[in-house]
């Protein structure tokens, strides 16, 4: 039986989806441009050789495919998630010359011919979410893929969040994972205690 927190999250997901789906194409485009500019301005991003992104679903998430192309132009390696049996996830190298393949939930992912990237090679991960709060907690899409993967990842974690859905405090459960930075159109919110970050 779902917990009260899980039910609260479900209701919040429905409300936030409606808010995001109400955005016009122009609003999404302008929001994406500001989000990506702020993300790219982070010193951690500038200094990273390999970055784990997600390929955003148009209309639901920031269109991070454009961000992947920009990072490749800068000479960085980009990893993308690939789902594995048993609700698992692995990271494979994004190759601009190899088309992505359709997967579950309307997601595009790298094929098996793209090289695996071990977690220790990933300088940072951009974690997808419907929204974040000001403590760095996220409300995902309910699959739990990233919460499980992040349990064993020690690198830097960054989230993108449109201002219109940024929350003061989200309902959380023990398995929920936080990020170190939340990037919005207005700037970058650090969750790292002062003196513990290179930013």
Alpha-helical regions (H) of 56-165: 65-73, 145-150
Structure tokens at 184: 């919005």
List the domain range (segments joined by +) for residue 112: 4-190
How many C-beta neighbours within 10 Å does residue 177 have? 18
Instruction: Indicate the SS3 state at residue 83.
Output: strand
CATH label of the domain that carries residue 93: 3.40.50.10420
**Total domain count for the chain?**
1
- 66 assigned to some structural domain: yes
- 91 assigned to some structural domain: yes
Structure tokens at 195: 């003196």
Instruction: Indicate the SS3 state at residue 76.
Output: coil
- 136 assigned to some structural domain: yes
- 25 assigned to some structural domain: yes
Q: Show pLDDT as tens, one digit a residue, over the chain (199 residues).
A: 566 788 898 899 999 999 999 999 999 999 999 999 999 999 999 999 999 999 998 888 999 999 999 999 999 999 999 999 888 899 999 999 999 999 987 889 999 999 999 999 999 999 999 999 999 999 988 788 898 899 999 999 999 999 999 999 999 888 888 999 999 999 999 997 754 444 3
Structure tokens at 72: 């490749």
- 56 assigned to some structural domain: yes
Structure tokens at 125: 């991960």
């Amino acid at each position: 039986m779902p917990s009260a927190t899980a039910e609260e999250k479900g209701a919040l997901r429905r409300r936030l989806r409606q808010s995001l789906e109400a955005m016009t194409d122009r609003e999404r485009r302008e929001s994406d441009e500001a989000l990506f500019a702020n993300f790219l301005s982070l010193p951690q991003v500038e200094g990273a050789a390999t970055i784990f992104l997600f390929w955003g679903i148009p209309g639901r998430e920031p269109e991070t495919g454009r961000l992947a192309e920009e990072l490749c132009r800068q000479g960085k390696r980009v990893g993308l998630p690939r789902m594995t049996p048993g609700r698992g996830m692995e990271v494979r190298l994004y190759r601009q010359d190899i088309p992505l393949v359709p997967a579950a939930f309307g997601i595009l992912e790298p094929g098996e011919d793209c090289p695996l990237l071990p977690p220790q090679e990933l300088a940072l991960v951009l974690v997808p979410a419907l929204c974040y709060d000001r403590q760095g907690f996220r409300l995902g899409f309910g699959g739990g893929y990233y919460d499980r993967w992040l349990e064993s990842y020690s690198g830097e974690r960054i989230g993108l969040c449109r201002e219109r859905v940024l929350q003061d405090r989200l309902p959380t459960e023990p398995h929920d994972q936080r990020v170190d930075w939340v990037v919005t159109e207005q700037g970058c919110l650090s969750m790292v205690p002062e003196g513990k970050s290179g930013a």
